[in-house]
């Protein structure tokens, strides 16, 4: 090969595009880790109280928002719900990008629903044949949402995360502030409601 590698269109880890993607990934990883650690303790406590189970699976960031969405929807099939998760627009404050998934990704959306079912927060039943299941919030799911501070519902969370990714590592202070506020409110709310 007589041409330099740069002429082949192969970039370097020092290229601006690579650095933007790396920093966006670091921002998302920071949010995901901080949310998961706090969720296990704080949302986990509410989930255990709501379900009466000690082994309730962890409530994820999009699982919680999906649960709120299901509560506000009419009768729903799994397929329609997955479509609503894909076309999620939140409050409309942020403009979704074309082709972008809202709540979850194409590979994680079905897993989000499975996790909510395993936690006992959803009820599923057959509507019209084995491939068409209705889905709704269970009594335990309703109790869980009643045990949470109203501001735990954040319809714009997927768009906030995207914005933080675009800001890269410069978004760390905003991410930390969001996590402290989100879980701080819930912690105070839970201590008053015991």
Measured distance CA(194)–CA(70) in Å, rounded:
26
Residue 136 CB: number of other CB atoms within 10 A? 17
Q: What is the pLDDT of residues 61-85, one digit of tens each?
A: 999 999 999 998 877 888 888 888 9
Summarize the confidence of residues 36-52 as an average pLDDT: 95
Residue 25 lies in a domain: yes
Residue 116 lies in a domain: yes
The number of distinct structural domains making up the chain is 1
Question: Whole domain around residue 135: which residue ranges?
Answer: 13-192
- pLDDT, residue 8, reads 47
Q: What is the CATH number of the domain that holds 103?
A: 1.10.460.10
**pTM of the entire predicted model:** 0.85
Residue 2 lies in a domain: no
Q: What is the pLDDT of residues 146-174, one digit of tens each?
A: 999 999 999 999 999 999 999 999 999 99
Residue 6 lies in a domain: no
Residue 4 lies in a domain: no
Residue 1 lies in a domain: no
Q: Residue for token digits 């409601």?
A: 193
Count Cβ neighbours within 10 Å for each residue of 66-96 and write b for 16 or more, e otherwise: bbbbbeeeeebbbeebbebbbebebeeeeeb
Residue 136 lies in a domain: yes
Residue 29 lies in a domain: yes
- What's the length of the chain? 194
**CA dihedral sign, ordered 98, 22, 180, 145:** positive
User: Residue 36's closest CA among 44, 27, 48?
Assistant: 44
List the beta strands (DSSP E) in the chain.
76-77, 122-126, 133-137
């Amino acid at each position: 090969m007589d041409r330099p590698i740069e002429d082949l269109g192969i970039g370097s880890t020092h290229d601006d595009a690579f650095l933007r993607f790396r920093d966006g990934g670091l921002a998302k990883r920071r949010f995901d880790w901080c949310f998961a650690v706090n969720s296990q303790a704080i949302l986990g406590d509410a989930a255990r109280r709501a379900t009466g189970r000690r082994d309730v699976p962890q409530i994820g960031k999009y699982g919680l928002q999906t649960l709120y969405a299901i509560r506000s929807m009419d009768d729903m099939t799994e397929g329609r719900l997955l479509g609503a998760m894909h076309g999620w627009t939140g409050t409309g404050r942020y403009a979704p990008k074309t082709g972008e998934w809202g709540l979850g990704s194409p590979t994680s959306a079905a897993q989000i629903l499975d996790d909510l079912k395993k936690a006992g927060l959803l009820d599923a039943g057959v509507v019209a044949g084995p491939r068409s299941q209705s889905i709704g919030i269970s009594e335990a799911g309703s109790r869980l949402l009643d045990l949470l501070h109203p501001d735990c519902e954040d319809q714009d969370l997927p768009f906030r995360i995207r914005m933080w990714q675009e800001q890269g590592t410069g978004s760390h202070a905003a991410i930390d502030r969001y996590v402290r506020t989100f879980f701080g409110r819930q912690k105070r709310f839970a201590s008053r409601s015991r």
